[in-house]
Structures are given as C-alpha cells and as structure tokens.
Amino acid sequence: MKTKGHKILLIIGGGISAYKSLDLIRILKKNNFEIRTVLTKSGKEFVTPLSLTSLTSNKTYEDLFDIENESEIDHISLSRWADLIVVLPTTANFMSKLSLGKAEDLATTIILASNKDILLVPAMNVRMWMHKATQNNYKNLIGYGYRFLGPVTGEMACGEYGEGKMSSPRQIYTEVKKYFQDKDLIKKKKIKALVTAGPTREYLDPVRYISNESSGKQGYEIAIALSRVGINTTLIAGPSDLQPHQGLKIIKITTAEEMLQAVKKILPVDIAICAAAVSDFKPKIFSKAKIKKNLDNMHKLNLEKNPDILEFLAKNNKNRPKLVVGFSAETENLIENSEYKLKNKNCDLIIANDVSKKDFGFNKDFNEVSIIDTSGKVQTISKNKKSYIASKITKSIIKKFLINEKNIN
C-alpha cells in the first residue's frame, strides 16, 4: 500500500552504514514519499551529494549558511517542511550532541529548531552502544521525545558481533510506514484523552489540609507525551509547582470533588489516565475558622471517603472511555495489590509503582513502574527519569488503544 505525499527529511550521518541511505531513498520514493536530504560533513566521507540529489530529484543540503538560498533560513524552512525527520546512521557522537542540545551545524540546528517527530537509527560498535554514556544519552533522548529504531544484533563492519548494527532500509521503511499509519489513524479518530495528576488537598480549616507527597510530575509528563503524538489531551492537575507545558490544556483543581466534577465535564473521552494521588479521605466537617489547639480538639478528626474517580471512570457505563488506565501506589506486595486493583476497579491497564522507595516515586525526578494489563502481562520499566517513563507508558497505551480500535473495526 502506497503512502500519499508524506515528506521525509533524511539527515545522513558519518558512518559506514550511510551508504544504506541510498537504498532507503529508493524504497521511499517507490512508495510515494517526498524526500529531501541533509548531508553532514562526516557523512560526506561515505556518500556524495550528487548521488543523493540524483535519487531524490531534490537539492542536497550541506551548509548552515547557504548563499544561494539566503532568502530562506534553511534550518527553519527544512524543519517546517518535513512531516518526519529521520537520522541515519545516528552515531554515538551525534547522540551526544543531541543529548546536550548542541546546534553547531545544519543537521543539529534543524533538529533543535524542529517541531516534528524525529526518528534516530543508531549504528555503532557494540561496546560504544553499551557504554554507560551512550545509554544515558539514549534514555535522555527518549525522555525528550525522540524515537528510536534499533540498533539490531548482528555482524558489524568492524568484524565484531553484537547489538549496534543499523536496521536495514526495509526495516526503516516499515517503521516509517507504521508511524504514518498510526498518526493518520489518531488524526482520523480525533482521539481525546484526559490525564489526572498531582495530589489533592482536603482542608480541615482555612490553614490545614490532608494531602500527600505527590508532585504531579509523572502525570504531567504523560500528558505531554500524549499531546506530542497528536492526541487531544486535557490535564486535570492538583496543587503543584510544575509549570504548564505550551499547548497543553490544563484544568487546575484543589480537592477530590473538584477533580471529579472536572472529569465529568470533560467526558466523553477515548482514553483516561488516572495518575493523580487523590486523597482517600476528607474531613466530614470543614471549620470556617482556624481550629484552636486544645485537648478537646486534638483527638477528634472525623473523616469520610472521597469519591473514587478511577472507579467512576472505569465503571461508568454511559461515558466509559474506551481505555482506562489507573495508577497503583503501593508500599508492599506491589504486583499482587496492583493486579487486584486492576480487576476490582475494572481498568484496562494499571501502572504499579512502589512509593516506599526514597530515590524514586513521589516528589522525585525518577520513577520505576510496572505496566500490568488484563491478560496478566507485566512490563517493568526500570528506574529512570519520569519523562522517559512517560514515553514508555504512552507507547504502551497507544499500542493497546490502536489494537483495540483495529479489532473493533
């Protein structure tokens, strides 16, 4: 099946695998993609501008400042022109530059100025790929929103065998085709999502409240990741110091009841992700005046249950989202308790995280989670930045949603 008119900007890096870009261009052209190319200085050691121009029927860009096109700023116009940017081979050095946010040539400047998705296709020696610095850069880049394909395991040009070989042109084409098919489906379906994040506060009096240590960062990152792939996302957020992300719709609330009302107002949606740490209880009576410190008041705190927002969404037959994802914050028996919550709350996925740890979880920049689905499958994502965790959670959510949609249709 041919793809209609999608535009690919192909950035060719400096590695022996650069020659495979020529085969990729042939495959993409055959399937009706429009292609423009940027050839890095080191990439020029392996392929020539003439060969790229001949295959694409378009100019090959090399220099950041091009006298022939001084009327246009190339790094801006090219980044806006493309529907997807593909970098191959993505070397360890290039990954390092992107991780640091460098903009020292046309290729890195385009990427830093881009508002489009970027697919990195790594190729390097197995030791270079497995090096802690490269792996840290890999995790940072995923957290920034970059996409990766490979590397794959195989024999490399250096003669060694292992993980580091670049994906084949056919594999890259398949990934690009799937990217646009999923993106087009998301656009066609006009998918809407809501994400709850942060704590709630249940006031005893004008100055005291019941709450928890949640910062809201994990929920914020998930909402950003969903929005980035084109899903119309609304974030309902409890009290937090986090700054709103540009373009993300945010509704600020304080109490659990306010969060519930905001959720009801947004429905119907296709996907609901309940990442908020909602207070389970609230005071039965709110004191309009500050409660005085005396013995009579010190042993009296009458509480009642707050509404269960996750249960409302998952069991609300009238407006139940097609996919409901809950979070399970536990201090013991993480998987067992989370599996019970998944079934009891009627969720489609549950994200289990251990909040007893001191180095990740509540009010930290790092997290470690397990994604559990109704089939019993458990996918554990080891400790990492919450932006990285969010990208992995979002990928699982979208995959499950699109599979469900395809099965229905």
308-351 confidence digits (pLDDT tens):
999 999 987 688 999 999 999 888 999 999 999 999 999 999 99
Q: How confident is the model at residue 1 (pLDDT cuts 50, 70, 90)?
A: very low
Nearest of 165, 159, 156 to residue 89 by alpha carbon:
165
Distance, CA of 236 to chain centre = 18
Q: Which of 100, 130, 133, 158 is catalytic?
A: 158
C-beta neighbour count of 275 within 10 angstroms: 27
Is the model's pLDDT at 292 over the cut of 70? yes
Is the model's pLDDT at 71 over the cut of 60? no
Mean pLDDT of the 235-257 span: 88
Tell me how far CA of residue 182 lies from CA of 6, 230, 281, 323, 392, in angstroms. 13, 10, 41, 17, 16
pLDDT at 70: 47
Angle, helix 20-30 to helix 169-189, in steps of 10 degrees:
40
The Cβ-side half-sphere exposure at 234, using a 13 Å CA radius, reads 19
d(CA 345, CA 261): 19
C-beta neighbour count of 42 within 10 angstroms: 16
Ordered domains of the chain (ranges, CATH): 7-186 (3.40.50.1950), 190-408 (3.40.50.10300)
89-109 confidence digits (pLDDT tens):
999 999 999 999 998 888 999
Q: What is the dihedral of CA 248, 251, 255, 257, to 10 degrees?
A: -120
Tell me if residue 274 is catalytic.
Answer: no
Is the model's pLDDT at 295 over the cut of 60? no
Tell me how far CA of residue 392 lies from CA of 148, 221, 327, 334, 336, in angstroms. 12, 11, 15, 19, 22
Is the model's pLDDT at 409 over the cut of 70? no
